[in-house]
Amino acid sequence: MTDTREDGYDAFLDALEADEGYYYECSNGHGTLPPRRACPHCGDRELATAILPSTGEIVTHTLVTVPTPQFKDEAPYVTAIAMFGPIRLTGIVRGIDQENVEIGREVTVAIERDETADERTITFQP
């Protein structure tokens, strides 16, 4: 295991692991994920921490059969984007048969280790 910490991102993963997920919200109501110093939508620098909703909804997904080297031992697997309030997270779907992953499916977010590189990764579960 050779994790190299990236301050803002790793703090975000730490919070997800502790079931204390959060995001940043600007004074105009846009949501963004750490690490950020300004809103990517409007440039606002007044960012406040907001609690990430405990459940999200899959908005798109794909079956990966030719993975990147980091996930070569996990293929085939489903990668999805899920909306958690105003935030979109990308993760690997676990605990749902690949043929049963569908748009609109409610999921929770967790942090797990990938099988190939033993690094933390965002996962979605039913």
Interval 40-64: pLDDT, tens: 999 999 999 999 999 999 999 999 9
The pLDDT-based confidence of 1 (bands split at 50, 70, 90) is: very low
Q: Side chain identity at 97, as an amino acid letter?
A: D
Residues with Cβ within 8 Å of residue 111, at least 6 apart in sequence: 13, 16, 17, 120, 121, 122, 123
Q: How many CB atoms lie within 10 A of CB 54?
A: 10
pLDDT tens digits for range 83-105 = 999 999 999 999 999 999 999 99
User: Is 107 a residue whose pLDDT tops 70?
Assistant: yes
pTM to 2 decimals? 0.86
